[in-house]
Structure 1
Amino acid sequence: MEITLTGVEGLPLVSEGDDIAALIVDALKSSNMELLDGDIVVIAETLVAKAEGNTVDLRRIEPSSKALEIASRTGKDPRLVEAILEESSEILKVGHDFIVSETRHGFVCANAGIDESNVEEGLATPLPEDPDGSARRILGALQELTGREMAVIISDTQGRPFREGAVGVAVGVAGISPVWDRKGELDLYGRSLQTTRVAVADELAAAASLVMGQADEGVPAVIVRGYPWGHLRATGSARELLRPRELDVFRD
């Protein structure tokens, strides 16, 4: 098997109302490239949030007393803390420089997924309001423009319990099942797998993040080519990656 990761270069800075699918297709044409059947397009959530106008102007926020209290414990800007509170359904842990919360989507991550990087000074981008819906709209537009069968993953960069560093994860999915359940298959010694479920969408998002980078690389979209995902073709939803609360052994 050979899998290639190709960054979509030449994308402009995105503004509210921009057509992400058209921008990707045009950028690829400028590089003498095109989308093919079986491609998976991984798109950074910041790009989607900006195109959808889903940004927060921190300068206009009036922090609440709760935000001020948490800010004093974390050293974070009280206005950012207030934005985190507004995007969260529950605050899980507050430390000397971090806030871990559950977002309104059900994702458990730092700062409710709010990102201050790669956006204008004073602004921040929360996760898209409906990441799966955003992925479906972009997928539909890409298929209409190209006539190709493909999948779309919207990715974010998040930390993980008990491990240093951040990795790309899928927050929105369209056209592919994000989880590959391999229960019942045989291992090398003929034993039947009992619990093996592979978070394929997260693995693809993490691989794409190697090309996207985290600083000034300017590559918010990556084409994954060569991964055989035909058996995973489905409407898909990133919510399938969320562990049910009753099985969450890490939460108090």
Structure 2
Amino acid sequence: MCTASTSSASSTWASTASTCTTWAATRPNGSRSSAATFCRSSRADVPEIHVYALEGMGEVAAGDALDDLIVDALEAQGIIAHDGDILVVTSKIVSKSEGRSVSADDREDAITAETVRVVATRAHPGGVTRIVENHLGIVQAAAGVDASNTPAGTVLLLPVDPDASARRLASQLRERLGARVGILISDTLGRAWREGQVDAAIGSAGVQVVDDLRGGTDTFGQLLQVTQIAVADEIASAADLVKGKASGMPVALVRGLAAFVGENLDTPARALTRTGPTDMFRLGSDEAHAEGFAAGRAAAEAERAAEAERAAKAERAAEAERAAKAERAAEAEGAAEAERAAEAERAAAGPADGYARGYDAGYAAGHAAGRAAERP
């Protein structure tokens, strides 16, 4: 549960009067979290958001209707949904309701079955961690197969299609609540450059997942060329701060970001996943080296094969040229021999039939010479 006290204070960051709220959470074991103070500016143009964890949802089982559980939790806390509210739902309860639980004994097989591509493997005292790309295109440890917050002896797989699950839940809740709410399904991911984990959106419906600021200008009038804000991920991370990992509060309502909630439910979180040439960290360093080595070796072998083929082709061409020259020489020799025979025949013929014999011999010699000239 959450407790809060309210007081008036002077806000230095806004240079205007503010209402400040001190917030603290009571954990399931009775301990209290550190208090945090949030100040609301009295200026209407200062943006603010509110995040509420939904209590009392209980354990979710296969076949449970999440819309029923969420509506009951909202009513129990007296929260009336508004147009533009966003409900962030932990993927675990979606998986549980969809029956995505398997035996823990099959965990390694489940990871393998969910894996499309191994990105990296790292050995550690507790075993081996596999960083993989799963069927959703998400790169994460163990393909998202998780043993936390699930009964002993079982592990949970991610939903088959979190975007479809989000669309279905958003449609149900919009009808039941009478409000244009958006849905984000969140899961915990590591980060390539940073320690620790954060919640990110793996499913979305009705929520603009990216705020593309390219083409706009900053406060100094400079052109923004690459800035695209991953709105859905930032909302999922903010919601996790009130949901927590062991609080039994798997859903949070975020209010104040209605500009990112629309009528269209087809706003997939999968659009946030980098693929192909845009993925600059496709492999771990060891795996990248191994893949590069294999590709380089294959390229060298292909080059050697191409060089051998070029040499063989050149040899075949040279052999053909030698054969052609020999054939032309043989034909030329044949023509010369024919001419010599004709000359001898003319000499032997005498004056009486010299013309006829000479014509025939000349014809034969000319014909042979003409055929020889036709050849290359």
TM-score of the aligned structures, taking structure 2 as reference length:
0.60
Find runs of 4+ consecutive structure 1 residues off by over 2 angstroms.
228-235
**Residue among 5, 27, 51 paired with 2:73:** 27
- Name whichever structure is richer in helix by fraction: 2
The equivalent of 1:82 in structure 2 is 109
Whole-angstrom CA distance in 2 between matches of 1:231 and 1:207: 17
Gaps of at least 5 residues in structure 2 are: 1-46, 283-287, 289-376
Whole-angstrom CA distance in 2 between matches of 1:131 and 1:100: 20
CA contact (8 A) 2:182 2:261 kept: no
User: Is residue 229 from structure 1 mapped to residue 259 from structure 2 by the alignment?
Assistant: yes
Whole-angstrom CA distance in 2 between matches of 1:183 and 1:233: 24
**Equivalent residues in 2 for 1:57-72, closer than 5 Å:** 57-59=103-105, 61=106
Question: CA offsets per residue over residues 190-219 of structure 1, 9 Å max, x none?
Answer: 11111111100000000011111122x001
CA contact (8 A) 1:135 1:173 kept: yes
CA contact (8 A) 1:39 1:223 kept: yes
Question: CA offsets per residue over residues 158-178 of structure 1, 9 Å max, x none?
Answer: 110121100000000000121
CA separation of 1:128/1:142 partners in 2, compared to 1, >3 Å: closer, same or farther?
Answer: same
Question: CA offsets per residue over residues 63-122 of structure 1, 9 Å max, x none?
Answer: xxxxxxxxxxxxxxxxx2221111111111100142100001100011101111110011
Whole-angstrom CA distance in 2 between matches of 1:32 and 1:212: 18
TM-score of the aligned structures, taking structure 1 as reference length:
0.89
SS at the partner of 1:173? strand
**Equivalent residues in 2 for 1:72-151, closer than 5 Å:** 80-97=107-124, 98-151=129-182
**Residue among 209, 218, 234 paired with 2:248:** 218
User: Is residue 10 from structure 1 mapped to residue 40 from structure 2 by the alignment?
Assistant: no
Q: Give aligned pairs, total.
A: 232
**Residue among 28, 45, 52 paired with 2:98:** 52
Whole-angstrom CA distance in 1 between matches of 2:242 and 2:86: 14
Higher-Rg member (1/2):
2
SS at the partner of 1:25? helix
CA contact (8 A) 2:200 2:236 kept: yes
Whole-angstrom CA distance in 2 between matches of 1:37 and 1:119: 33
CA RMSD, aligned part only? Answer: 1.3
- By relative contact order (CA 8 Å, sep 6+), the higher-ranking structure is 1
Whole-angstrom CA distance in 1 between matches of 2:153 and 2:275: 36
1:56 Cα offset (Å): 1.4
